[in-house]
Amino acid sequence: QRLFVGDQVIRINAESEEQIQLLQALETQEEWELEFWRRPVSTGLPVDVRVPRGSLEPVRSYLLAHDLPFSVLISNLQELLNEEKAEMERNQK
């Protein structure tokens, strides 16, 4: 089963078209293996991106370097998945 230990989901609220373009550039950055849950489209909609544990540092640096405001939506994805799984098992019992 695929695990997401240490992966974070980050919400970014772009404030300008320029920042949207910076985030769109991230979409093409294959090396960091980002998964966009909500893609960068316009300033009115937040951008959610799952960042693998190994890419957290460079991604955070990128966001800080470009003054892209962000917050952590999910601090450890696997923890949330474990909770969900435990709850399902409890329910099945």
Partner 1 sequence: LELSTRSINFAAYHTLDTIYSWMDSLVAQHPGLVTKEEVGRSYEGRPMYVLKFSTGSDRPAIWIDTGIHAREWVSQATGVWTANKIATDYGSDASLTSLLNSMDLYLLIVANPDGYVYTHTRDRMWRKTRSVNPGSACRGVDPNRNWDAGFGGPGASTNPCSDSYHGPAAHSEVEVKNVVDLITSHGNFKSFISVHAYSQLLMYPYGYSCSHVPDQPELDSVGRAAAQKLASLYGTSYRVGNICNIIYPASGGSIDWSYDAGIKYSFALELRDTGRYGFLLPASQIVPTASETWLALKHIMEHVRDHPY
Kindly tell me which of 7 and 68 has the beta carbon lying closer to partner 1.
7
Secondary structure element (H or E) that encloses residue 62, with its range: helix 56-65
Query: Is 35 a residue that touches partner 1 (CB under 8 A)?
Result: yes
| Stretch in the footprint of partner 1 (CB under 8 A) among 52-60, 61-69, 75-83 | 75-83
Quote the least distance from Cβ 88 to partner 1, whole Å. Answer: 6
**Interface segment toward partner 1; rule CB under 8 A; list 52-60, 62-70, 82-90:** 82-90
Q: From CA 32, how far away is CA 57, in angstroms rounded?
A: 10
Contact at 8 Å (CB) between 66 and 19? yes
Q: How far apart are CA 13 and CA 91, in angstroms?
A: 36
59, 29 in Cβ contact below 8 A?
no
Binding-site ranges for partner 1 (CB under 8 A): 1-2, 4, 9, 11, 35, 37-39, 41, 44-46, 48, 50, 73-74, 77, 80-81, 84, 87-88, 91
